[in-house]
Structure 1
Amino acid sequence: MCRNIHQLHNFEPPATADEIRAAALQYVRKIAGTTRPSQINQEAFDRAVAAVAAATADLLGELTTVAPPKNREIEAAKARARAERRYAS
């Protein structure tokens, strides 16, 4: 999976439409193999991003868990610590 796509489920506050769209955009970019589609492919690219974002929003709306919601700041700090260990000289 693309490293730029982050978990969106079980956070307080819930994922925003912008976060869902950003994840969908990263997914479509990965699948298409391009960050900027050609003009002729732009419409198909945009439709795919919208479809993936809609499916993601539906999925997030239906998922349930008994785990307590995660804190975004704590999870971001954990990710930074992992990155520091991964990329340490």
Structure 2
Amino acid sequence: MCRNIRPLNNFEPPASGDEVHAAALQYVRKVAGATKPSAANQAAFDRAVAEIAHATGHLLEDLVTTAPPKNREVEAEKARARARVRYGT
């Protein structure tokens, strides 16, 4: 999985449309192998991002869990702690 795509499920408050769009954009960039498509591919790139964001939104709405919602700040601090261990900073 692309390191820039963050888990979006089971957070309080739920993932915003911007977060879903950002994840879809990162996914399409990874699959396409380009961060910015050529003019000839821009429409296909944008359509793919929109379709993936739409499907992701439906997925997040439909997922069911019994776990308590996660806190974004707590999860971000855990990620920073893992990075400090991993990169030695």
Q: Same fold (TM over 0.5)?
A: yes
List alignment gaps of at least 5 residues for structure 2: none
Corresponding position of 1:21: 21
1:81 aligns with 2:84: no
Q: What is the aligned-residue RMSD (CA, Å)?
A: 0.7
Q: Measure how far apart 1:52 and its partner are.
A: 0.3
Number of aligned positions between the proteins:
89
State the identity as a percent: 69
CA deviations 1:3-49 (Å, max 9, x no partner) are: 00000000000000000000000000000000000010000000000
Q: Normalized against structure 2, the TM-score is what?
A: 0.98
Q: Normalized against structure 1, the TM-score is what?
A: 0.98
Higher relative strand content: 1
SS at 2:40 equivalent: helix
Corresponding position of 1:51: 51
List aligned pairs for 1:34-49, cutoff 5 A.
Answer: 34-49=34-49
Corresponding position of 1:71: 71
